[in-house]
Amino acid sequence: MKTLTTALTSIALASSVSLANANEISVGGKNFTEQQILSTMTTQYLDGLGYDVDNRSGMGSAILRQAQENGQIDLYWEYTGTSLINYNDITESLNPEETYQRVKELDAEKGLTWLEPSDANNTYALAMREAAAEEQGIETLSDLAEAVNNEEGLTFALNAEFYAREDGWRPLMQAYDFRVGRSEVSRMDTGLVYQALRNEEVDVGLVFATDGRIPAFDFYVLEDDQGFFPSYALAPVVRTDTLEANPELAEQMNRLSALLDDETMAELNASVDVERESIEDVARGFLEENDLL
pLDDT band for position 239 (cuts 50, 70, 90): very high
pLDDT at residue number 1: 45
What distance in Å separates the CA atoms of residue 170 and residue 178, rounded to the nearest whole number? 10
Helix, strand, or coil (residue 159): coil
pLDDT band for position 22 (cuts 50, 70, 90): low
- Check pLDDT > 90 for residue 245: yes
pLDDT at residue number 215: 87
**CA 65 from centre of chain:** 12
Percent of the residues in the chain that have a pLDDT greater than 70, as a whole number = 92
Q: Which runs of consecutive H residues, i.e. helices, occur in the chain?
A: 2-22, 33-48, 61-69, 80-82, 96-108, 130-136, 141-149, 160-164, 169-176, 190-198, 213-216, 240-245, 248-257, 262-273, 279-289
Q: How many CB atoms lie within 10 A of CB 166?
A: 10
pLDDT band for position 191 (cuts 50, 70, 90): confident
Helix, strand, or coil (residue 160): helix
Helix count and strand count (H, E) for the chain: 15, 10
- Check pLDDT > 90 for residue 148: yes
What distance in Å separates the CA atoms of residue 55 and residue 38, rounded to the nearest whole number? 11
pLDDT at residue number 3: 45
pLDDT at residue number 161: 85
- Check pLDDT > 60 for residue 7: no
pLDDT digits (tens, 9 = 90+) for 158-185: 998 889 876 689 999 999 999 999 999 9
pLDDT digits (tens, 9 = 90+) for 71-119: 999 999 999 999 998 999 998 888 899 999 999 999 999 999 999 999 9
What distance in Å separates the CA atoms of residue 103 and residue 230, rounded to the nearest whole number? 12
Cβ–Cβ < 8 Å for 219, 128:
yes
Q: What is the mean pLDDT of the chain?
A: 91
- Check pLDDT > 60 for residue 2: no
Sheet with 219-221: list strands edge to edge: 185-187, 156-158, 204-208, 124-129, 219-221
Query: Of 23-32, 138-147, 203-212, which one has max mean pLDDT?
Result: 138-147
pLDDT, greater one: 197 or 5? 197
Between β-strands 185-187 and 204-208, what pairing exists: parallel, antiparallel or unpaired?
unpaired
pLDDT at residue number 38: 98
pLDDT at residue number 69: 97
pLDDT at residue number 264: 94
- Nearest residue to 121 (alpha-carbon basis) of 143, 144, 99: 99
Structure-derived torsion over alpha carbons of residues 224, 264, 35, 275, reported in degrees to the nearest 10: 110
State the average pLDDT over residues 247-271. 95
pLDDT digits (tens, 9 = 90+) for 194-235: 999 999 999 999 998 899 999 899 999 999 999 888 889 999
pLDDT band for position 14 (cuts 50, 70, 90): very low
